[in-house]
């Protein structure tokens, strides 16, 4: 109750709004054409919702791999590309990310067709960032990835001790996953990122230290190290693995992240986002990097200045909708200028540094006149440094500000994704309302 009350107060303070409600009102073609009149550059996110195994902790939209479904999914994506390409015209696409699920389930199985079609249909001015599963990374698949233009590859390593891999139900051993990563590193991608989860049940600080050194010794250019988040609609969330008191968990995460920070900084890595460390001089692996983007595929989300909209999460419904020439948008929300500014700040905090000028250029308002008081307070308590032009989060600030963001967003994501997973075309999803009880 108190949490909800505080969330509402803070949300109202930051955005000036008391509601956050997504509704089943997809934008029309004409509306999209109008919105694109003010868009000069965009990113593309493509969602591949298939996995060969379902992990008990995973909140993402995915289902079990099935060859028939994949064929139909490919055809639907091609049609969705045609639809948006006719609206985006020759505007440059400067960032392209393929996420999942597990995109590498579609290697030799449709993804090449999708990528080729995308590069023919849009004015693509970027290389590809893609997520992969360690078990898919044999030499044949790695060569395909290189040949289609992947330069930034992420691998879901998750843990580097067999007992934790077993607890997470990952289908490989520590030595197998190390071999996969080393194969990928030797292929010469611009950046190989590994995802690693910490603060697992019963994980010790020594194990974190050992895993941190192993991550560095494998020669990767980047490590994204997330604490285990427990989403209520996942198996782990429902079984509620031995719940630790919130503050104990926060402090344990902080100490483990501290250990990893020391190891990476000593190995010439720099912090590139709240959870990620990238080798100095390497361009980071990351999701879509430009502020405006289109999302393709089941659960693909699009953000175009004053609107955010989301495709249905249900793969069969996504396919059927496109087969009937109906766009698969399930939910949308019009964003006020205050909401757009708050969203901008949310993502810049995640990236840990930003230029105030970028804010002023985008919103035509001086950054300090909008957020100066809050920034001065955060600077005073040691969370950030403000040199007049640029804000840089300190290690302490990166952790605690993100813990604060999580306090909001895990609830929001659980509601939005949990609902969307259960109901393919929800009438609306209420994330925040001024009505009592919500």
Cβ neighbour number for residue 100 with a 10 Å cutoff:
25
Q: At closest approach, how far in Å is the CB of 159 from ligand SAM?
A: 9
Binding site partner of 197, from ligand SAM, ligand SF4, none, Cβ cut-off 5-8 A by kind = ligand SAM
Strands 293-296, 42-48: pairing is: parallel
Binding residues (CB under 6 A) for ligand SF4: these are: 51, 54-55, 58, 60, 62, 100-102, 133, 156
Compare residues 51 and 310 and give the one whose CB is closer to ligand SF4.
51
Binding site partner of 228, from ligand SF4, ligand SAM, none, Cβ cut-off 5-8 A by kind = ligand SAM
Compare residues 100 and 418 and give the one whose CB is closer to ligand SF4.
100
- Whether the CA torsion 151, 154, 160, 162 is positive or negative: it is negative
Q: At closest approach, how far in Å is the CB of 225 from ligand SAM?
A: 9
Binding residues (CB under 6 A) for ligand SAM: these are: 51, 57-60, 100, 102, 131, 133, 156, 158, 195, 197, 226, 228-229
Compare residues 36 and 45 and give the one whose CB is closer to ligand SAM.
45
Q: At closest approach, how far in Å is the CB of 102 from ligand SAM?
A: 4
Q: What are the two backbone dihedrals, phi and then psi, of residue 231, each rounded to the nearest 5 degrees?
A: -85, 130
Three-state SS for 150?
A: strand
Binding site partner of 229, from ligand SF4, ligand SAM, none, Cβ cut-off 5-8 A by kind = ligand SAM
Give per-residue burial for 405-419: e unless 16+ CB within 10 Å, then b: eeebeebebbbbbbb
Compare residues 11 and 269 and give the one whose CB is closer to ligand SAM.
269
The pair of structure tokens assigned to 173 is 């051993």
Q: How far is CA 53 from CA 64, 66, 163, 312, in A?
A: 7, 11, 18, 22
404: number of CA atoms within 13 Å, CB side? 14
Q: At closest approach, how far in Å is the CB of 116 from ligand SAM?
A: 23
Give DSSP secondary structure letters for 72-137: HHHHHHHHHHHHHHHHHTT-EEEEEEEEES-GGGGTTTTHHHHHHHHHHHSEE-S-EEEEE-GGG-
Compare residues 101 and 328 and give the one whose CB is closer to ligand SF4.
101
Binding site partner of 136, from ligand SAM, ligand SF4, none, Cβ cut-off 5-8 A by kind = none
Three-state SS for 147?
A: helix
Q: At closest approach, how far in Å is the CB of 245 from ligand SF4?
A: 27
The secondary structure element, H or E, covering residue 181 is: helix 174-186
Binding site partner of 193, from ligand SF4, ligand SAM, none, Cβ cut-off 5-8 A by kind = none
Cα 415 to Cα 411: distance, rounded to the nearest angstrom: 6
Cβ–Cβ < 8 Å for 129, 98: yes
Q: At closest approach, how far in Å is the CB of 20 from ligand SF4?
A: 26
Compare residues 200 and 319 and give the one whose CB is closer to ligand SAM.
200
Q: At closest approach, how far in Å is the CB of 58 from ligand SF4?
A: 3
Binding site partner of 226, from ligand SF4, ligand SAM, none, Cβ cut-off 5-8 A by kind = ligand SAM
Strands 390-393, 384-386: pairing is: antiparallel
Q: At closest approach, how far in Å is the CB of 423 from ligand SF4?
A: 21
Binding site partner of 378, from ligand SF4, ligand SAM, none, Cβ cut-off 5-8 A by kind = none
Binding site partner of 54, from ligand SF4, ligand SAM, none, Cβ cut-off 5-8 A by kind = ligand SF4
Compare residues 156 and 291 and give the one whose CB is closer to ligand SF4.
156
Cβ neighbour number for residue 251 with a 10 Å cutoff:
12
Compare residues 190 and 406 and give the one whose CB is closer to ligand SAM.
406
Q: What is the CA radius of gyration of the chain?
A: 21
């Amino acid at each position: 109750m108190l949490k909800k009350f505080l969330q509402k107060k803070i949300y109202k303070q930051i955005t000036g709004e008391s509601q956050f409600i997504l509704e089943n009102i997809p934008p029309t073609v004409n509306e999209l054409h109008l919105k694109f009149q003010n868009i000069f550059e965009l990113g593309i996110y493509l969602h591949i919702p298939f996995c060969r195994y379902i992990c008990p902790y995973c909140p993402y939209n995915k289902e079990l791999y099935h060859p028939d479904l994949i064929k139909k999914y490919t055809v639907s994506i091609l049609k969705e590309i045609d639809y948006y390409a006719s609206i985006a015209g020759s505007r440059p696409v400067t960032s392209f990310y393929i996420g999942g699920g597990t995109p590498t389930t579609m290697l030799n199985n449709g993804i090449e067709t999708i990528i080729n079609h995308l590069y023919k249909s849009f004015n693509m001015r970027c290389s590809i960032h893609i997520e992969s599963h360690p078990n898919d990374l044999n030499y044949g698949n790695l060569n395909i990835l290189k040949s289609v233009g992947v330069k930034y590859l992420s691998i879901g390593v998750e843990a580097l001790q067999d007992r934790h891999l077993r607890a997470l139900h990952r289908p490989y051993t520590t030595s197998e996953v190390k071999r996969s990563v080393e194969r990928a590193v030797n292929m010469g991608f611009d950046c190989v990122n590994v995802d690693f989860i910490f603060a697992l049940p019963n994980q010790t600080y020594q194990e974190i230290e050992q895993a941190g050194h192993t991550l560095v010794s494998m020669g990767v250019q980047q490590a994204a190290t997330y604490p285990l988040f427990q989403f209520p609609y996942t198996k782990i969330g429902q079984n509620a693995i031995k719940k630790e008191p919130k503050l104990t968990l926060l402090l344990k995460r902080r100490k483990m992240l501290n250990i990893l920070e020391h190891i990476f900084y000593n190995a010439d890595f720099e912090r590139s986002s709240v959870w990620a460390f990238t080798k100095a001089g390497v361009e980071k692996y990351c999701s879509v990097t430009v502020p405006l983007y289109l999302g393709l595929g089941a659960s693909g989300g699009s953000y175009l200045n004053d609107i955010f909209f989301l495709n249905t999460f249900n793969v069969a419904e996504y396919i059927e909708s496109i087969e009937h020439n109906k766009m698969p948008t399930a939910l949308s929300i019009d964003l006020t200028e205050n909401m757009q500014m708050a969203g901008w700040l949310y993502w810049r905090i995640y990236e840990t540094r930003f230029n105030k000028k970028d804010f002023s250029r985008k919103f035509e308002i001086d950054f300090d006149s909008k957020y100066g008081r809050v920034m001065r307070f955060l600077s005073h308590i040691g969370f950030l440094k403000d040199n007049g032009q640029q804000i840089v989060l300190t290690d302490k600030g990166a952790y605690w500000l993100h813990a604060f963001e999580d306090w909001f967003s895990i609830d929001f994501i659980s509601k939005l994704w949990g609902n969307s997973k259960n109901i393919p075309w929800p009438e609306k999803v209420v994330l925040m309302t001024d009505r009592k009880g919500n």
